[in-house]
Amino acid sequence: MISFRRIRAVAKKERLQILRDTRSLLLALGIPMLMLFLFGWALKLDVSDVKTIVFDQDRSAMSRAFLERFDAVEYFDITAHTDTYDDVVESLDRGNARAAIVIPEGFSEDIKTGRDVQIQLIADGTDSLTAQVFIGYASAIVSDFSQDIISESLARSGLSGTGRPVNVSVRVWYNPELESKNFIVPGLIAVIMMVIAGLLTSLTVAREWERGTMEQLISTPISVPELVIGKLISYVELGFIDFVLSVIAGTLVFGVPLKGSIILLLVLSVIFMIGAMSLGMFISIVAKKQVMASQMAILATFLPSFLLSGFVFPIATMPVVLQGITFLVSARYFVTILKGIFLKGVGLEVLFLESLLLCVFTAMMLALSMARFKKELV
């Protein structure tokens, strides 16, 4: 039978050890904040003010009116006009411009006479995200400009029905400003907590073996579940503090809205912490060396949670094999939970499956750690 008194004793021992190691404690509290600020400010997917060079060979009132439409949009920043195509090539080569607009000679005259006009839009494909945004918005501006010309031509001819048959009313839910920080920061919190939780507990058992104190623990009547649970409690407390600080920083510093239940968020975060720290404990039990344990913990937490959680890369676009592997990454479920609670304000009625799978992962890792640990000298 599990003794809660012995669990409290082990937890107290670990808590005292954490408090005595001031440098490790400061790192455990400071690293998550440092990572959140660095990634939160550096990892931006917003595209605006794309530096654009213009080669206007027509130099007419209509070509200027066409270019004014680009100037009026925040996504474009026309930084230079040139008289030669070679300047366009050089600007793109040197990175002075990320895009270019080439208007052919006779642009205005061809439009007036009803002939087709070819506008050249050039995007720097070395930055694929910026190139996609430029092409998308530039094509929309060209299409809108063409539609206006057709409507004006029909109106001058006295024809009715010059209005557009279909109008689009666009509404963006959950993140109306389309700010990347609003979906990056919740995902970052999940990734950072996964890494920190794994690192914190990956050294616990390995440290006991290296210091020679494991023999003393083995000689006591304490059982394996009591030892594992007792060691986890103090680290879960420390991880919970890290999580709360990260949530406060995310909402106050980065301005990410928290629309859902704070209680549900905290409860699910504790479950996630127990699972992540059980993984770190399992690594510590297997490795028995602190250096090896820390290296294994980074490989088992940072890379999967960053690449396979859906934080940066959509899971649906991954190969089928990788999509299957993502079910083994608990950060996948926690990223969905954080985005749902932060941005959508949904509860368990929507996040039930992710919460259930998170609980299953936590139970499996906890059971695996207990099964792997043996109270014997090897």
Domain that holds residue 106: 50-156
Among 345, 306, 100, 59, residue whose Cα is nearest residue 198: 306
Residues 15 and 100 in one domain: no
pTM for this predicted structure: 0.80
Q: Is the dihedral of CA 61, 67, 72, 78 positive or negative?
A: negative
Share in percent of the chain as helix, strand, coil (round to 5): 65, 5, 25
Tens-digit pLDDT profile for residues 226-270? 888 888 898 899 899 999 999 999 999 988 999 999 999 999 999
Residues 115 and 205 in one domain: no
- Is residue 378 in some structural domain? no
- Is residue 89 in some structural domain? yes
| Whole-Å CA distances, 105 to 83, 110, 117, 147 | 12, 9, 10, 21
Residues 205 and 312 in one domain: yes
Residues 376 and 218 sit within 8 Å (Cβ to Cβ): yes
- Is residue 9 in some structural domain? yes
Residues 316 and 216 in one domain: yes
| Whole-Å CA distances, 303 to 192, 270, 295, 307 | 11, 22, 12, 6
CATH number, domain at 136? 3.40.1710.10
Residues 40 and 62 in one domain: no
pLDDT band at 100 (very low <50, low <70, confident <90, very high): very high
pLDDT recorded at residue 246: 93
Q: Determine the 3-state secondary structure of 98 from DSSP.
A: coil
Tens-digit pLDDT profile for residues 331-352? 999 999 999 999 999 999 999 9
- Is residue 163 in some structural domain? no
Q: Rounded distance, CA 101 to CA 126, Å?
A: 18
Residues 35 and 100 in one domain: no
- Is residue 173 in some structural domain? no
- Is residue 346 in some structural domain? yes
> For the chain, what is the domain count?
2
Residues 55 and 21 in one domain: no
- Is residue 13 in some structural domain? yes
Q: Rounded distance, CA 145 to CA 126, Å?
A: 28
Q: Rounded distance, CA 53 to CA 43, Å?
A: 26
Domain boundary among 156, 187, 222: 156
Domain boundary among 123, 156, 189: 156
Burial of 9 (0-12, 13-18, 19+ CB in 10 A): middle
